[in-house]
Structure 1
């Protein structure tokens, strides 16, 4: 199972050179970059933990890649994504978002089915990783 969230999620993982090219594209457009991480990539979990503050003042892609690598060192078994924000609209608008690191093993999700009154069926999504405690979900 491969989590598919954000831009490029159906492609093979990007190399650092490809990530740097995307960061340069974002910075050339005047977008601020931010790094986030989580061990719960559920599709409804849109609020990942932020690694530091958004990098409003950086103009060099190497600075953003440095922060990504520092987050990778601190959280080697987590999902890490890069977000680029376009501030032209006067509010936080995500212009680009993509995963830059995944755990070595992605256990996937299952659908839980529940029958209710009048023969209605409710379905919910359950991540297998959530069966383990937070912080230990993707450790081998």
Structure 2
């Protein structure tokens, strides 16, 4: 992880920092990232709602962290994930970056 990215992420919580560290290479490749949230994660189907627009964030880890924090502030009791798409490899993966403290 680059020193600048570490500095940008100092205000994020540790789970978010770990998650963003794992997608650092995706950001450098220009992957499209969508922040999504849902009030309840079900075993078979969970309807995720988008937060903002899908974006490449120009490799800016700080902007992703800021958007995650805004989503968390607006939806404290929701699960939040990053949905990441790399069109150059035709691949997609999702990463949960926030879960509410009191579930159920």
TM-score tier, shorter chain, comes to: 0.7 to 0.9
Residue of structure 1 in register with 2:3 after alignment = none
Is 1:103 equivalent to 2:103 in the alignment? no
Q: Number of residues paired by the alignment?
A: 92
Quote the offset at 1:64 in angstroms.
1.0
Quote the offset at 1:14 in angstroms.
5.2
Distance 1:87 1:59 in 2: 16
SS in 2 for 1:77: coil
Cα deviation code 1:56-90 (max 9, x no counterpart): 35321111111111101100111001111111267
Structure 1 residues not aligned, in runs of 5+: 1-12, 108-140
Structure 2 residues not aligned, in runs of 5+: 1-12
If asked which structure has higher relative contact order (CA below 8 Å, sep 6+), I would say: 2
Residue of structure 2 in register with 1:27 after alignment = 27
- Superposed CA RMSD in Å reads 2.2
**Which is helix-richer, 1 or 2?**
2
SS in 2 for 1:44: coil
Question: Does the aligned pair in 2 maintain the 1:32–1:85 contact within 8 Å?
Answer: yes
Change (3 A) 1:37 1:102: same
Pairwise mapping of residues 1-140 of structure 1 onto structure 2 (< 5 A)?
A: 15-88=15-88, 93-94=91-92, 96-107=93-104
- Alignment TM-score, normalising by the size of structure 1: 0.56
- Alignment TM-score, normalising by the size of structure 2: 0.73
For the pair shown, the structure with the greater C-alpha radius of gyration is 1
